[in-house]
Amino acid sequence: MLEQLHDALWIAEGQIVSFFGAPYPTRSGIVRLDSGELWVWSPVKLSADLRSQVQRLGPVGHLVSPNKLHHLYLPEWKAAFPEARLWGPGSTIKKCPGLPFQPALQDDPPPEWRADIDQAWFRGSFAMDEIVFLHRPSATAIVADLIQTFSDAFLRRHWGWLRFLARLDGLTQDQACAPREWRASFINRAPARRARDKVLSWGCRHLIVAHGERPGPIDNGFLARSFGWLGA
């Protein structure tokens, strides 16, 4: 279930989940920090096989929700790895009052992973915010819902005739965007533009997304197009 992308970076493909009745593929990212601890982004459903493979990589130190929609499997990961610390933006923490989170994530990475991972906080929407991450050693951007890349094959198989809705929403591989309704909710775009500019300053060469096909090697042009809706 784990695919290695770099010496210290893996992905885990998760189950298809229903989001307001629409089938969504899921994907998690796992980084081995310089400390040896594992940093698990957007945890997918934890099967026995996945748990065994993760344990072979090292101790799980951090479980990270990038936005308030990516919390579904945090409780079972926390139960399986009780020493792991839970992280997320304030919106996730507010949505999950029963979980013992660390202080809310914002623009600056906490000391626990600053040497390995940078982050940018996209905010200014009345609906949602999201933390986008950079795995420094591999120059990989890690994005949850701000870039979605559904393939035509997936949409034909799982969405059927409703697949036109994904295209209208900007979620197809060729558009690689955030949902139209989320874009419209950014009534104050200045903070998100600053986050976008920070992401572009990273010079990313690779991209991990939670929903859709993994793009091949990328450049700033790809990311600039994905965030083009934010304007100048």
Nearest to 130 by CA among 226, 46, 58: 226
Decide if 20 is inside a domain.
Answer: yes
Number of domains in the chain: 1
Question: Which residues lie below 8 Å from residue 167, measured CB to CB, with a gap of 6+?
Answer: 175
Residue type at 25 in one-letter notation = P
Decide if 207 is inside a domain.
Answer: yes
pLDDT at 118 over 80: yes
Decide if 120 is inside a domain.
Answer: yes
Decide if 141 is inside a domain.
Answer: yes
The token duo for 103 is 């202080």
Residues 178-201: pLDDT tens digits? 999 999 999 999 999 999 999 999
Query: What pLDDT is stored for residue 39 in this prediction?
Result: 98
pTM over 0.85: yes
Rg (CA), the chain: 17
Question: Residue written as tokens 């986008």?
Answer: 132
Decide if 210 is inside a domain.
Answer: yes
Express as a percent the part of the chain with pLDDT over 90.
88
Residue 220 sits in which domain range? 2-90+105-230
* CATH number for position 183: 3.60.15.10
